[in-house]
Amino acid sequence: MTTCTPVKTTCPYCGVGCGVEATRLPDGAIRIAGDAKHPANLGRLCVKGSALGDTVGLDQRLLTPQVRQDGALARVSWDAALDKVAGGLRAIVDEHGPDAVALYVSGQLLTEDYYIANKLMKGYVGSANIDTNSRLCMSSAVAGHKRAFGEDIVPGCYEDLELADMVVLVGSNTAWCHPILFQRIARLKESRPDMKLVVIDPRRTATCELADLHLPVKPGTDVWLFNGLLCHLASEGLIADDFVTRHSAGLDEALAAAHVDCADPLQVARICKVDPQALLGFYRDFAATRKVVTAFSQGVNQSSSGTDKVNSIINCHLATGRIGQPGMGPFSLTGQPNAMGGREVGGLANMLAAHLDLDKPAHREAVQTFWDAPRIASKPGLKAVDLFSAIEAGTVKAVWIIATNPLVSMPDADQVRRALDKCELVVVSDISAQADTNAYADVLLPALGWGEKDGTVTNSERRISRQRAFLPAPGEARADWRVLCEVAKRMGYDGFDFTTPQAIFDEHARLSAFRNAGETARLFNLSHLVALDAVQYEALAPQQWPQDQPRLFGDGRFAHADGRARFIATAPRTPHNLPDEDFPLVLNTGRVRDQWHTMTRTGKAAKLSGHIAESFIDIHPQDALLYSVREGELARISSRWGAMVARVVHGGGIARGQVFVPIHWSDANASDARVGAVVNPVVDPVSGEPEFKHTPIRIEQFRVH
Ligand code: SF4
């Protein structure tokens, strides 16, 4: 595979899903440019995307299958490794039942990989114990969408951010985490200075530099703020009565819940710890501006009341009928490149393929019939945090971890270490030889990485794009879908005779059309993409689903059986664990501009470390003084779950009582650098998403003994 012709593909980092043109140069270097024709980015790339060429190559790559023998991982043939995985899973299923095994996968997988993983677990093993690191990032948005709309649908598109007269960014450092979208907003702001940008975030982030208003809410108080907005809209007579009456249900209950302690904006301002005039100004601007987009991300989702936060935002858009029309609507910004594709194939423990519901017998029957599967999971599986608890408890005895590094990324990450230590069979598929989780593998399988694998991803605006290979497979690495199919066949299952990602995509598209008959109709439908031939699949242009519908619900028809949207009564509640004498500060975690997840790829690009070279603990100078830690020196933060060490900084954006630490660094970079070890394993009761934004901690000087 030698070429100087640009190959169109998609960036593998954030959920913006930018189009990339990658060119292999004669000297082996990779030239990266933005794809001018891709609707997500129109030629632009952020610094991470631009550095993609520096992250490929053999350095730090896992190149051969390995099996643990006498305590050490030793190179084996693929046949031996696959037999070990299939034989191990089969034996555990036979002895302990289907729920004794699990897959833990990733929003980094391509849709085709995800589809096979889900089919194997739910239709053949017969357990829904397949969850994903997307649980950690956007499952509250999924749950909120399903409650409000009847289906997991993002109603709008990126263009809406440019058509809006007011953009509200909630819990989102868009400038760093979705940089190209932020550039689109910034350009708009330049040409239309009257367009209002409001940022609601406890931290003063880079995103605030462009904002007309920053509301630095107390962590965890978003529901109060948006319930207060709903009350304000009602008290000002600004409810869209016709829309609400004809197209929704539940406003009275939602208003009753909101009125309990959010009817008075002054009280809301006190609870949220924001300036009352600023809050009222926001309420008035929201009320007076028809074209409003409220975009939200992890600051909303990663909370023990994440789903309610999502619904409190959606409630305000439904109340004003501002949804599914140009320049207006709630908008979930997904973190990962294929979080949305994973949702399409049902790659979460409480979902079925093709947006069908695990708890509906007719849906289960439709999927089982389509797959001609011997069985179908009949109940939801274990969500990420519960899954690792079950492994530690010994009820789940085998786990196959694909394309994710839970030893770093999970909350209470030390529990993951204990769980994997105890687990009878740990299989890890990864591209990196240095991922922290590898050390716990009984079987280590080399996977294809970006530039080597072929398939599709779906971005935050429901746009499917191709990821295309332009590099040969390194060493003995194989595509995840191929490895999953091989294991399935060795376990004795039919239905996995795929030889190309195109064939898998075709089955995925056909399933979406199959179940769209009769009462199982869903908006997710790829019937127009059924039976693509190899050339058509190869040439597949970026496109949204449903076909030619950049916006949904503008006609007032929602996906609930009665066609009506639902207001959700969101009674506000505080974060699960609150600061106390022993743990007086609140830890907030998140991303930095130039790194991605646990740095197994971005860590290879020297220029990306130029921005921020090491982990840090960002704390207010007065708190630093109070707790006797100094800027530039190492400090240790600890919670009831674990501890980590990093250098103290004063970034300038942190309020008193709070601390921010990035999620990326791990023990592969420096010892005791995993912030996941500190994060409380509390989850939202509806979505199961962990509360990464609110862990009580203490801080002290770090002394080397
Ligand atoms: Fe990649 Fe996201 Fe940057 Fe686009 S904005 S280039 S998808 S990291």
Residues 369 and 276 in one domain: no
Look at residue 558 and tell me if it is in a domain.
no
Q: What is the CATH number of the domain that holds 537?
A: 3.40.50.740
Which pLDDT belongs to residue 57? 86
Tens of pLDDT, residues 676-686: 999 999 999 99
Residue 704: pLDDT band with limits 50, 70, 90: confident
Domain carrying residue 674: 585-701
* C-alpha 550 to ligand 1 mean position (Å): 21
Residues 100 and 181 in one domain: no
Residues 286 and 315 in one domain: yes
| Residue 46 Cα: closest atom of ligand 1 | 3
Give yes or no for residue 699 having a pLDDT over 80. Answer: yes
Residue with tokens 């707790």: 627
* C-alpha 35 to ligand 1 mean position (Å): 12
Contact between residue 431 and residue 474 where contact means Cβ atoms under 8 Å apart: no
Which pLDDT belongs to residue 520? 55
Residues 533 and 593 in one domain: no
Residues 405 and 520 in one domain: yes
Three-state SS for 483?
helix
What is the Cα–Cα distance from 194 to 504, expressed in whole angstroms? 48
Residues 38 and 155 in one domain: no
Tell me which residue has its CA closest to atom 4 in ligand 1. 18
Tens of pLDDT, residues 114-162: 999 999 999 999 999 999 999 999 999 999 999 999 999 999 999 999 9
Residues 682 and 598 in one domain: yes
Tens of pLDDT, residues 486-511: 999 999 999 999 999 999 999 999 99
DSSP assignment of 643-683 equals EEEEEEE--S-PPTTEEEEES---TTTSTT--GGGTS---B
Residues 130 and 146 in one domain: no
Question: Residue 600: enclosing H or E segment and its boundaries?
Answer: none
Tens of pLDDT, residues 555-613: 999 999 999 999 999 999 999 999 999 999 999 999 999 998 888 889 889 999 889 99
Angle (CA) 486-489-494 rounded to 5° is 135
Which of 161, 180, 340, 460 to probe ligand 1 with, by most ligand atoms within 8 A of CB?
Answer: 180
| Residue 14 Cα: closest atom of ligand 1 | 2
Which of 9, 41, 173 to probe ligand 1 with, by most ligand atoms within 8 A of CB?
Answer: 41
Give yes or no for residue 2 having a pLDDT over 80. Answer: no
Which of 8, 158, 178, 207 to probe ligand 1 with, by most ligand atoms within 8 A of CB?
Answer: 178
* C-alpha 362 to ligand 1 mean position (Å): 39
Q: How many C-beta atoms lie closer than 10 Å to residue 705's C-beta?
A: 2
Pocket of ligand 1 (CB under 6 A): 11, 13-14, 16-18, 41, 45-46, 48-49, 178-180
Residues 277 and 168 in one domain: yes
Which pLDDT belongs to residue 279? 98
Which of 9, 10, 32, 46 to probe ligand 1 with, by most ligand atoms within 8 A of CB?
Answer: 46
Residues 24 and 112 in one domain: no
Look at residue 143 and tell me if it is in a domain.
yes
ipTM of this complex prediction, to 2 decimal places:
1.00
Give yes or no for residue 518 having a pLDDT over 60. Answer: no
What is the Cα–Cα distance from 119 to 359, expressed in whole angstroms? 17
244-249 average pLDDT score: 98
Which pLDDT belongs to residue 130? 98
Q: What is the CATH number of the domain that holds 610?
A: 2.40.40.20
* C-alpha 363 to ligand 1 mean position (Å): 36
Residues 309 and 379 in one domain: no
Percent of the chain with pLDDT over 90: 92
Q: What is the CATH number of the domain that holds 172?
A: 3.40.228.10
What is the Cα–Cα distance from 71 to 45, expressed in whole angstroms? 45
What torsion do the CA atoms of 20, 21, 23, 28 make, to the nearest 10 degrees?
A: -10
* C-alpha 272 to ligand 1 mean position (Å): 32
| Averaged confidence pLDDT in the chain | 95
Give yes or no for residue 366 having a pLDDT over 80. Answer: yes
How many structural domains is the chain composed of?
Answer: 4
173-188 average pLDDT score: 96
Residues 253 and 185 in one domain: yes
Residue 672: pLDDT band with limits 50, 70, 90: confident
